[in-house]
Structure 1
């Protein structure tokens, strides 16, 4: 099963966005994923990984929950 990790910048205040992303992924994929883990970070990071591979990085593109869910769906 797929393991999803959301690394977010604590000092930047990305916790709410990380929780919203986690909730959305759990609501959509539920038991189809092993876990959706939150990983605190810094330096402006907001990266979503599926099985260790980045599927979204805020440094490369604007936050888009629909794009994130589609990319995770491809891994589930």
Structure 2
């Protein structure tokens, strides 16, 4: 099964975005995911990892919830 981590910047107020993505992934993949963990960070971070592999980094990619979900699907 797949483990997903969503690391988000606490001081930047990215909790809502992280929770929305977490909810979307759980709705899409449900029991096929081992976990979708929210990981606190700072310095503007918003990264998504599946089984330790980077799937999304806001420094490199434009935020698109559907595209991130599709990328996670490659690991499920």
User: For 1:5 and 1:17, how far apart are their aligned partners in 2?
Assistant: 13
RMSD of aligned Cα (Å): 0.4
What is the deviation of 1:62? 1.4
2:43 is equivalent to residue 72 of structure 1: no
Aligned to 2:56: 56
Structure 1 runs of 4+ aligned residues shifted over 4 Å read: none
Question: Can you give the 5+ residue segments of structure 1 that lack an aligned partner in the other structure?
Answer: none
Aligned to 1:20: 20
Structure 1 segment 8-47 matched on structure 2, within 5 A? 8-47=8-47
What is the deviation of 1:61? 1.4
For this pair of structures, how many residues does the alignment match? 76
TM-score by length of 1: 0.98
Question: Can you give the 5+ residue segments of structure 2 that lack an aligned partner in the other structure?
Answer: none
Helix, strand or coil at the partner of 1:35:
strand
User: For 1:41 and 1:26, how far apart are their aligned partners in 2?
Assistant: 22
